[in-house]
């Protein structure tokens, strides 16, 4: 029977000390043989594990932490007691002081040994030399066997699990995934309905999604952690969300008969923001729709598409006459084709092309980050529109005349439920960890 996993997010706290910092993680229901602790040389600490819940249900743990500045991951020690994991990371200065002390003691012993050899007869010299060689050989053999045993099962003291961080022969590097970095940034940036991200926060998300190649200094702690785990120069790519251009969906060059069906996969959704991917087959269209009170980042990951967007014009400050009560005048913001990889498009509640439409030229995948997400309860429901040409008229012209103005358009609210087909699918890419 295939396992069904439920993500377990533990509670934790850092305990700061002069000689070491200690991470305390509460792991209710877990046993020590179900927990694994890893540390690398790049400032990362990872705790993983899984345990059965009954039937085919399993609880899965996957939590990453940044090693505090000034602490040594190589000297890490961890123990598990009463469903609590304690990870101790000694300070490098304290570790250095301990090494200096040991070196000093070793130097004194060597000096005393040399002095003894210098003042003793030759017959006496040979005995301690032979004994010391045998003792040294025995000690090295014991240490080697202990080392091999630790590699196989980990050192145990008084029934507790002891995990030691050590430099591996084979250098292994791992980092927080790109989608996890984006998720952490969104948690910091989006504050909920009625708020708009600050310019510095917008630029940070732009960097994560791949508009710029230079890191952005930022005072937020969350961003500091992001920089520790990865450079902003890593642009968001298809494989960062589990996609490959070798998939049959992206190799298709013709659309199926009838109305092309659009699919979407939700990566994460909460009250403050959502992250999802839309998959559009060739000729598929997401009609003109608005994003009331929302800030939206759209990243074309795969394919080519045409994007057209509008912003509303204030009817109070404009002198345009409305031919029908069902029409409202809007200003054209964008009318262009895009091919991945390309810059991320950003729209705001009243600017940037808040009302837009996507038309797929080839099979496409679009990553959307919306803050806040659509919600009928919070008056953030979606509305669809049809655009109509706007014509300029001189004195005496009628509706039959006039010159078409390509910078504006009349938008009419429409019902698309009859022909717009969207199907939700499971997101199978790298998971985000909320904790």
Q: What pLDDT sits at residue 206?
A: 85
Which residue blocks in 120-165 are alpha helix, DSSP H?
122-153
pLDDT band at 423 (very low <50, low <70, confident <90, very high): very high
Q: What pLDDT sits at residue 99?
A: 61
Q: Please list the residues that pair with 63 across neighbouring strands.
A: 47
The pTM (predicted TM-score) of the whole model is: 0.57
Q: What pLDDT sits at residue 130?
A: 43
pLDDT band at 320 (very low <50, low <70, confident <90, very high): low
DSSP string, 49-75: EEEEEETTEEEEEEEEEEPPTTB-STT
Torsion of CA 151, 154, 157, 159, to 10 degrees: -150
CB burial class (10 A; 0-12, 13-18, 19+) of residue 171?
A: exposed
- pLDDT tens, position by position, 221-236: 344 344 333 434 347 8
Contact 284/260 with Cβ under 8 angstroms?
Answer: yes
pLDDT band at 298 (very low <50, low <70, confident <90, very high): very high
> Which tops the pLDDT comparison, 324 or 355?
355
DSSP string, 19-51: SEEEEEEE-TT--GGGEEEEE-TTSEEEEEEEE
What is the dihedral sign for C-alpha 69, 71, 76, 78? negative
Give the side-chain half-sphere CA count within 13 A for 352: 18
What is the dihedral sign for C-alpha 228, 231, 232, 236? negative
Q: What pLDDT sits at residue 100?
A: 63
Q: What pLDDT sits at residue 218?
A: 37
> Which tops the pLDDT comparison, 367 or 160?
367
Q: What is the 8-class DSSP label of residue 418?
A: T
Question: What's CA 376's distance to the chain center, in Å?
Answer: 28
Q: What pLDDT sits at residue 148?
A: 47
pLDDT band at 136 (very low <50, low <70, confident <90, very high): very low
Whether 10 shows a pLDDT value over 50: the answer reads yes
For the chain, what is the mean pLDDT?
77
pLDDT band at 182 (very low <50, low <70, confident <90, very high): very high
Q: What pLDDT sits at residue 219?
A: 32
pLDDT band at 363 (very low <50, low <70, confident <90, very high): very high
CATH of span 1-100+134-173: 2.60.40.790
What is the pairing mode between strands 160-164 and 155-157? antiparallel
Q: What pLDDT sits at residue 353?
A: 95
- The pLDDT of 359-379, averaged and rounded, is 93
SS3 423: strand
> d(Cα 134, Cα 141) in Å, to the nearest integer?
11
Q: What pLDDT sits at residue 393?
A: 53
Q: What is the distance between the terminal CA atoms of the chain, rounded to a whole angstrom?
A: 29
Q: Do domains 1-100+134-173 and 244-425 have the same CATH topology?
A: no
Q: What residue spans define the domains of the chain?
A: 1-100+134-173, 178-229, 244-425
pLDDT band at 380 (very low <50, low <70, confident <90, very high): confident
Whether 186 shows a pLDDT value over 70: the answer reads yes
Q: What pLDDT sits at residue 400?
A: 52
Q: What pLDDT sits at residue 401?
A: 56
> d(Cα 223, Cα 170) in Å, to the nearest integer?
30
Q: Please list the residues that pair with 391 across neighbouring strands.
A: 404
> Which tops the pLDDT comparison, 89 or 134?
89
Q: What pLDDT sits at residue 97?
A: 57
Phi, psi (degrees; rounded to nearest 5) at 224: -60, -40
Contact 7/62 with Cβ under 8 angstroms?
Answer: yes
CATH superfamily for 244-425 is Jelly Rolls (2.60.120.10)
Whether 144 shows a pLDDT value over 50: the answer reads no
- The pLDDT of 44-69, averaged and rounded, is 86
The token pair that represents 66 in the structure block: 């940044």
Whether 61 shows a pLDDT value over 80: the answer reads yes
Q: What pLDDT sits at residue 250?
A: 80
- pLDDT tens, position by position, 81-105: 999 999 999 988 755 556 666 676 7
> Which tops the pLDDT comparison, 198 or 159?
198
What is the pairing mode between strands 160-164 and 304-312? unpaired
Residue 86 burial (CB count, 10 A): 15
Lowest mean pLDDT among 105-114, 117-126, 194-203, 328-337: 117-126
Query: 226 CB contacts (<8 Å, ≥6 apart)?
Result: 176, 181, 184, 185, 208, 232
Q: Please list the residues that pair with 84 across neighbouring strands.
A: 26, 81
pLDDT band at 241 (very low <50, low <70, confident <90, very high): very high
């Amino acid at each position: 029977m295939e396992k069904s996993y439920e993500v377990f997010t533990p509670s934790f706290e850092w305990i700061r000390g002069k000689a070491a910092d200690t991470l305390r993680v509460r792991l209710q229901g877990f046993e020590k043989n179900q927990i694994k602790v890893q540390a690398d040389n790049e400032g990362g600490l990872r705790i993983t594990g899984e345990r059965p819940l009954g039937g085919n249900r399993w609880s899965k743990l996957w939590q990453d932490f940044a090693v505090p500045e000034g602490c040594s991951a190589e000297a890490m020690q961890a123990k598990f007691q009463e469903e609590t994991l304690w990870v101790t990371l000694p300070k490098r200065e304290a570790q250095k002081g301990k090494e200096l002390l040991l070196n000093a003691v070793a130097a004194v012993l060597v000096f005393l040994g040399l002095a003894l050899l210098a003042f003793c007869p030759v017959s006496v010299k040979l005995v301690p030399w032979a004994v010391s060689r045998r003792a040294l050989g025995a000690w090295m053999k014991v240490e080697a066997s202990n080392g091999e045993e630790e590699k196989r099962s980990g050192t145990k003291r008084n029934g507790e699990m002891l995990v030691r961080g050590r430099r591996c022969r084979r250098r292994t590097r791992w980092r927080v995934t790109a989608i996890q970095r984006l998720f952490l940034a969104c948690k910091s940036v989006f504050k909920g309905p009625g708020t708009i991200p600050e310019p510095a926060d917008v630029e940070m998300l732009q960097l994560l999604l791949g508009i710029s190649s230079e890191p952005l200094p930022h005072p937020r702690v969350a961003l500091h952690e992001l920089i520790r785990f990865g450079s902003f120069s890593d642009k968001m790519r298809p494989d960062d969300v589990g996609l490959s251009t070798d998939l049959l969906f992206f190799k298709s060059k013709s659309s199926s008969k009838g109305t092309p069906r659009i699919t979407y996969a939700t990566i994460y959704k909460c009250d403050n923001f959502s992250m999802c991917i839309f998959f559009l087959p060739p000729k598929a269209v997401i009609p003109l729709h608005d994003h009331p009170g929302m800030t939206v980042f759209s990243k074309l990951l795969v394919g080519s598409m045409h994007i057209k967007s509008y912003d509303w014009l204030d009817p109070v400050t404009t002198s345009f006459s409305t031919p029908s009560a069902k029409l409202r005048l809007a200003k054209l913001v964008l009318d262009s084709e895009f091919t991945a990889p390309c810059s991320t498009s950003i729209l705001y509640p009243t600017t940037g092309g808040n009302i837009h439409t996507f038309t797929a030229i080839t099979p496409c995948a679009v990553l959307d980050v919306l803050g806040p997400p659509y919600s009928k309860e919070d008056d953030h429901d979606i509305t669809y529109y049809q655009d109509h040409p706007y014509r300029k008229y001189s004195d005496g012209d009628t509706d039959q005349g006039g010159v078409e103005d390509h910078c504006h358009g009349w938008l009419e609210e429409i019902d698309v439920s009859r022909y717009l087909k969207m199907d939700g699918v499971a997101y199978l890419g790298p998971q985000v960890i909320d904790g």
